[in-house]
């Protein structure tokens, strides 16, 4: 598949408590124009959710987030995850993700981590936690000496702040949760999720968000 960073301007980061919600949630996001969906491994239902989306929503590119160990790498890929995202990395975890055969985004927050990954031939990374770790100012600074690296910033990014990230040359997409608000998921208001996804999918580098006031 093409790079995860090029599938859409925003990758929804979703927490699914009930696997029953996985398919209608994914369909709403895809209908809104966000095919790449990161299901975080923070709940017991996560792997079942990935499995259901992979089987029943063919237009979705479902991935696993909060990947923390070789075991979660193996389980995620077996469930149908087509990409992996970690908040950070160790040599053991990195080796497992590389061996998985699917694209992956290891999390970084320092230039030393970035350079170490570059030494290993990795040029696409997750920048986390984006806002707390320096935000757009940090990424602008990194782009000068390390222009070959592309990031998916995640952590604290909103509909109103996303365009400033997407305007940067070293940002391929951002990760966010605003299009899957907990109250909408709890109410199974998939129409609202679709509308929020459509607003996120409409973001373009350097373009102001027309729907920022509705976030």
pLDDT at 204: 67
What pTM does this model have?
0.93
Q: And the tokens for 87? A: 């908040």
Condensed to tens digits (0 to 9), the pLDDT of residues 106-158 reads: 999 999 999 999 999 999 999 999 999 999 999 999 999 999 999 999 999 99
pLDDT at 182: 95
What does pLDDT average to over the chain? 94
Residue 129 preceded by cis peptide, ω within 30: yes
Question: What is each CA distance from 66 to 28, 77, 102, in whole angstroms?
Answer: 22, 14, 16
Return d(Cα 126, Cα 130) in angstroms, integer: 9
Residues annotated catalytic, as ranges: 38, 126
Condensed to tens digits (0 to 9), the pLDDT of residues 14-63 reads: 999 999 999 999 999 999 999 999 999 999 999 999 999 999 999 999 99
pLDDT at 119: 97
């Amino acid at each position: 598949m093409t790079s995860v960073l090029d599938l859409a301007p925003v990758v929804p980061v979703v927490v699914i408590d009930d696997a029953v919600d996985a398919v209608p949630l994914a369909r709403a996001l895809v209908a809104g124009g966000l095919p790449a969906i990161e299901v975080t491994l923070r709940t017991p239902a996560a792997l079942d959710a990935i499995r259901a989306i992979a089987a029943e929503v063919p237009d979705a590119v479902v991935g696993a987030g909060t990947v923390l160990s070789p075991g979660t790498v193996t389980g995620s890929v077996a469930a149908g995850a087509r990409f992996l995202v970690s908040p950070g990395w160790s040599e053991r975890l990195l080796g497992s993700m590389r061996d998985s055969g699917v694209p992956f985004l290891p999390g970084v927050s320092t230039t030393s981590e970035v350079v170490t990954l570059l030494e290993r031939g990795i040029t696409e990374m997750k920048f986390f936690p984006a806002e707390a770790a320096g935000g757009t100012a940090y990424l602008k600074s990194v782009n000068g000496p390390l222009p070959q690296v592309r990031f998916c910033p995640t952590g604290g990014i909103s509909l109103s702040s996303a365009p400033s990230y997407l305007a940067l040359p070293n940002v391929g997409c951002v990760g966010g949760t605003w299009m899957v608000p907990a109250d909408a998921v709890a109410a199974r208001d998939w129409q609202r999720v679709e509308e929020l996804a459509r607003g996120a999918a409409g973001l373009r580098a350097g373009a102001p968000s027309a729907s920022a006031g509705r976030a």
